[in-house]
Amino acid sequence: MSKSRSLPRGVAIVGAGMSKFGAFPEKNSRDLFVEAFKSMSSSVDKGYDPGVIQALYVGNFSSDQFEHQAHIAPLMADAVGLTPIPATRVEDACASGGVALRQGVMAIASGLADVVLVGGTEKMTALSTAAVTDALATAADVSFEISAGFTFPGFYAAIASAYMQRYGMLPEHLMNVAIKNHDNAALNPNAQFGVTIQKWMEGRIAAALKKGKPAPNWANIWDFLHDNSGNPMIAWPLRLFDCSPVSDGAAVVLLVADELAREFSDHPIHIIGTGQASDSALHGRLDLTSLFAAKKASADAYAMAGVTPRDIRIAEVHDCFTIAEVIATEDLGFFTPGEGYKAAEDGLTARVGSKPINTSGGLKAKGHPVGASGVAQAVEVWKQMRGEAGERQVPGDVPLALTHNVGATGSTCVVHVYERKS
Amino acid sequence: MTETTIRPFSAASFEQYISEHKLMAARCTLCGASYIPPRAICPKCHSEQLEWIETSGKGLLQAFTMIYTGPTFMVEQGFDRAHPYISGIVMLEEGAAISARITGVDALKPDLNLIGTPLGVDFIEFGEAGKSKTYLAFKIL
């Protein structure tokens, strides 16, 4: 293990914004980035001159495959009037946004920049489901994993099989995570599926009746979630509601050196810890019930921040699939291995629980435009820490928060720790 | 097994061996660790002196799933919602694990007791004779 490091210079977020996440046929990744940038600009308490921005890092997984457009960073810089700043696209699969955030932190902490724009954007819905599935598969080890027939739901389903076999969890336990995340998303105006599962089910029943068909036989959401027509199996044991969707969207944050933060806001959110790690393809892991890269990245971030898991008030974690959230809460040290699914069942991770996880609705219900997700996580913690999360605000103060962003099956993981000091 | 030329430790070589119905690993001649898929550099000791070994083809199932919505090339092999297939991770006797199809099991009957089951290597041919592709699989022994 490398020795713990500290940031030579402090970094603060003074603005954060995002587009709505969803399916937007008329918008591409550049349009969404501009929307998120505008949202961020309007969030800077004291206003600012965008001319002070010195660099751009933008997380994006595969505009090449999704839009036939590569080399997007200069396009994004130009679209918001920032040419000729250095503009860099960052790609680490679904961790692209979080890793872009880390590049921004490093640029300021190193002294090479004072004000940095970090964004994430992805436009996925122009392709068919089959084409999106094939594009996402390129995040795995194509040479050795894909010929086995694995898909992304398949990888995480295999992880779930190992977890269930070791800890006795049932597929039903995972449904608690989906229910909670939809409950949270119902309070998030930017969420792709801002509706509780209860409301979703009622909508399906109403639609069937309207078409003159018999009402589906769902007495409650548990019936619905167990039913193949309401919640079809994708890769056993994962069903539709265990899987994050295909989405369009963008998110942007404005980073400044600590000593400049007051010029922008009296309530900046400081990034006090950053950690990142890599790992092999899934079959190379020693333990399939945990993501080692998440343990390593979070250990480094906690050490840099000088905090422990117990100190973290809320966290946005990478719930690409429900099982990923369960394991994340264990990898991050919030619950002991094998207890994460019970914590979700007991309501500990609900918005009003003792350890709120994914108050935004998570990737599942807020949406997962791949490159944007890691930055959108930072947007959520920024809002919660400043008391600006509206109806989904967690009760009480949020002095410390964490974001956890994963690439593929955990071949990349990046973790950040945030502190509100004023 | 001896060859006059050592094939490079690459994906292409691994696939070539698979098409010859051989499941090959790379073993580090310095520290003795075995790797599958093959590697050119040992991650433990960083030696570049590796050798090919033919595995016994025996292993235990570590994890699995039944996939109902597969990629295009699996749909072409006849798999769909009514006919799911099994993908899994197998830990070989040699101490390394690999992703593979799992055969000889009812894909409509998931059973966690499958984890830990002894498996033996199998090779699935798909396509026209002479132009078929070989897929790595393991079957229940």
Q: Are residues B38 and B67 part of one domain?
A: no
Of A144, A161, A234, which has the smallest distance from its Cβ to B64's Cβ? A161
- Residues A310, A127: Cα–Cα separation, whole Å: 42
Of B75, B84, B101, which has the smallest distance from its Cβ to A148's Cβ? B101
The pairing of beta strand A233-236 with beta strand A248-257: unpaired
Range of lowest pLDDT (A235-239, A280-284, B3-7): B3-7
Number of domains in chain B: 2
CA dihedral B37, B41, B45, B51 (to 10 degrees): 70
Q: Are residues B63 and B23 part of one domain?
A: no
Which one is catalytic: A173, A270, A318, A368? A368
CA dihedral A306, A307, A308, A314 (to 10 degrees): -150
B5 falls within a domain = no
A120 and B CB contact within 8 Å? no
- What pLDDT is stored for residue A421 in this prediction? 96
B24 falls within a domain = yes
Q: Are residues B67 and B112 part of one domain?
A: yes
* Beta carbons of B63 and A233 less than 8 Å apart: no
Chain A CB contacts of B88 below 8 Å: 148, 158
B38 and A CB contact within 8 Å? no
Q: Are residues B27 and B47 part of one domain?
A: yes
Of B63, B101, B110, which has the smallest distance from its Cβ to A288's Cβ? B63
Return the DSSP state at A287. -
B19 and A CB contact within 8 Å? no
- Residues A349, B131: Cα–Cα separation, whole Å: 53
Residue after which a domain boundary falls, among B21, B37, B54: B54
Q: Are residues B92 and B49 part of one domain?
A: no
pLDDT (tens digit, 9 = 90+) per residue, B35-94? 999 999 999 999 999 999 999 999 999 999 999 999 888 999 999 999 999 999 999 999
Please say if A94 is a catalytic residue.
Answer: yes
Residue A2 pLDDT greater than 60, yes or no: no
Q: Are residues B136 and B67 part of one domain?
A: yes
* Beta carbons of A144 and B98 less than 8 Å apart: yes
Please say if A368 is a catalytic residue.
Answer: yes
Q: Are residues B127 and B106 part of one domain?
A: yes
DSSP sequence for A96-163: HHHHHHHHHHHHHHTTS-SEEEEEEEEE-TTS-HHHHHHHHHTTS-TTTTGGGT--HHHHHHHHHHHH
- Domain range enclosing B77: 58-140
* Beta carbons of A147 and B136 less than 8 Å apart: yes
How much is the mean pLDDT over chain A? 97
Contact in structure between A57 and A272 (CB atoms under 8 Å)? no
Sign of the C-alpha dihedral computed for residues A185, A189, A193 and A194 taken in this order: positive
Per-residue burial over A201-229, b if 16 or more Cβ lie within 10 Å, else e, is beebbeeeeeeeeeebebeebeebbeeee
Q: Which two tokens stand for residue B18?
A: 């698979």
Omega before A237 within 30 of 0, i.e. cis = yes
B132 and A CB contact within 8 Å? no
What is the number of other CB atoms lying within 10 angstroms of the CB of residue A115?
24
Q: pTM value? A: 0.97
Chain A CB contacts of B63 below 8 Å: 158-159, 161-162, 288
B14 and A CB contact within 8 Å? yes
B66 falls within a domain = yes
Give the gap in angstroms from C-alpha B70 to the nearest C-alpha of chain A.
Answer: 7
Residue A221 pLDDT greater than 80, yes or no: yes
A158 and B CB contact within 8 Å? yes
B87 falls within a domain = yes
B111 falls within a domain = yes
Q: Are residues B68 and B132 part of one domain?
A: yes
Average pLDDT over residues A230-259: 98
Q: Are residues B20 and B83 part of one domain?
A: no
- Residues A136, A47: Cα–Cα separation, whole Å: 38
* Beta carbons of A148 and B88 less than 8 Å apart: yes
Q: Which two tokens stand for residue B114?
A: 């499958």
B4 falls within a domain = no
Q: Are residues B80 and B22 part of one domain?
A: no
- Which has more confidence, B127 or A379? A379
Contact in structure between A150 and A328 (CB atoms under 8 Å)? no
Q: Are residues B62 and B25 part of one domain?
A: no
A-B interface: how many C-beta pairs under 8 angstroms?
A: 103
- What pLDDT is stored for residue B96 in this prediction? 94
Q: Which residue of B has its CA nearest to A163?
A: B63
- What pLDDT is stored for residue B4 in this prediction? 60
How much is the mean pLDDT over chain B? 94
B6 falls within a domain = no
* Beta carbons of B65 and A233 less than 8 Å apart: no
Which has the closest alpha carbon to A173: A345, A335, A349? Answer: A345
B49 falls within a domain = yes
CA dihedral A203, A208, A212, A215 (to 10 degrees): -100
Residue after which a domain boundary falls, among B54, B72, B88: B54
Of A149, A236, A238, which has the smallest distance from its Cβ to B101's Cβ? A149
Q: Domain holding B93: CATH number? A: 2.40.50
* Beta carbons of A151 and B67 less than 8 Å apart: yes
- What pLDDT is stored for residue A276 in this prediction? 98
pLDDT (tens digit, 9 = 90+) per residue, A55-97? 999 999 999 999 999 999 999 999 999 999 999 999 999 999 9
Q: Are residues B120 and B102 part of one domain?
A: yes
Interface of B with A in 55-114 (CB under 8 A): 62-72, 74-75, 79, 81, 84-85, 87-89, 97-101, 110, 112
